[in-house]
């Protein structure tokens, strides 16, 4: 039984290593997926800037068309001045021309303001594009590192599973079933007796339990944490 207990202890060391490996294999892709969110957000911001720029330029183009129409109106008013017969008609056309010039000037200011806003948005988009390139370069290196680490950990996991399968062959079914039940519930399935205490839960063991562990004629579990006890 001593040899079986030793093998169970070794088996538990392998299982603890497996648990750590599996946590790392689960954690690393999740962390990478979180980092991959940043370029997605940057791309969304860039697309919003592009949409804003397009809208601003379309509005500026529309105003410029109105300005052209206004310039044509001024030309028509100017041509009318040559054929007017009374000063009253002349003053009326002159006032219309002044109003048209004011309207044209106002539209020109609006168009310039819109183009200025578009320029600001373009600078923001350029900055975001630069940041996106930097982030994607870093992310490419991170993907490469994670792929390598995952491959290495997967190989280690397979090696441990092979060793575990070989070791399990030498453990009787009854004892292996007890061990499997405990390892599923506890993770750490074995614990050493240290000066009369369970090394896992640190509870003092009854003297008869301690003696049974030392005799090692059967599997003995801790009355407190239910782990398989082994001698120091």
**pTM reported for the whole predicted model:** 0.70
Strands (E), the chain: 190-194, 197-198, 228-230
Taking the CA atoms of 59, 62, 64 and 66 in sequence, report the sign of the dihedral they define.
negative
Q: For the beta carbon of residue 159, count every other beta carbon within 10 angstroms.
A: 12
Q: What is the pLDDT of residues 130-146, one digit of tens each?
A: 999 999 999 999 999 99
Q: Name the β-bridge partners of 194.
A: 197
Residue 69, both tokens: 């129409």
DSSP letters of 163-192?
HHHHHHTTS-HHHHHHHHHHHHHHS--EEE
In this prediction, residue 24 carries a pLDDT of: 96
Q: What angle do helix axes 2-35 and 87-168 make, rounded to 10 degrees?
A: 170
The CA distances from residue 32 to 24, 140, 146, 150, 199, in Å, are 12, 10, 8, 12, 37
Cβ-Cβ contacts under 8 Å for 14 (sequence gap 6 or more):
160, 163, 164, 167
In this prediction, residue 12 carries a pLDDT of: 92
In this prediction, residue 90 carries a pLDDT of: 86
Pairing of strands 197-198, 228-230: unpaired
In this prediction, residue 79 carries a pLDDT of: 87
Stretches in the chain below the pLDDT threshold 50: none
In this prediction, residue 106 carries a pLDDT of: 95
Widest distance between CA atoms in the chain: 132
Whole-number Å distance between alpha carbons of 205 and 232: 14
Whole-number Å distance between alpha carbons of 5 and 175: 9
How long is the chain? 232
In this prediction, residue 205 carries a pLDDT of: 95
């Amino acid at each position: 039984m001593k040899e079986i207990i030793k093998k169970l202890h070794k088996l538990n060391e392998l299982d603890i290593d497996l648990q750590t490996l599996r946590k790392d294999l689960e954690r690393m892709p999740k962390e990478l997926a979180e980092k991959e969110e940043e370029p997605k957000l940057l791309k969304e911001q860039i697309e919003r800037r592009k949409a804003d720029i397009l809208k601003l330029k379309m509005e500026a183009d529309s105003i410029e068309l109105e300005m052209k129409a206004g310039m044509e109106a001024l030309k028509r008013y100017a041509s009318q001045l040559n054929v007017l017969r009374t000063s009253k008609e002349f003053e009326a056309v002159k006032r219309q021309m002044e109003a048209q010039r004011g309207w044209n000037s106002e539209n020109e200011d609006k168009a310039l303001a819109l183009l200025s806003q578009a320029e600001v948005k373009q600078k923001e988009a350029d900055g975001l594009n630069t940041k996106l390139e930097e982030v994607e370069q870093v992310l490419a290196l991170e993907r490469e590192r994670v792929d390598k680490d995952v491959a290495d950990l997967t190989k280690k996991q397979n090696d441990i599973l092979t060793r575990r399968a070989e070791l399990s062959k030498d453990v009787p079914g009854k004892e292996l079933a007890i061990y499997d039940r405990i390892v599923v519930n506890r993770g750490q399935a074995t614990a050493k007796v240290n000066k009369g205490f369970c090394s896992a839960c640190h509870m003092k063991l009854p003297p008869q339990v301690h003696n049974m562990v030392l005799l090692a004629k059967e599997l003995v579990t801790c009355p407190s944490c239910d782990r398989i006890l082994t001698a120091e």
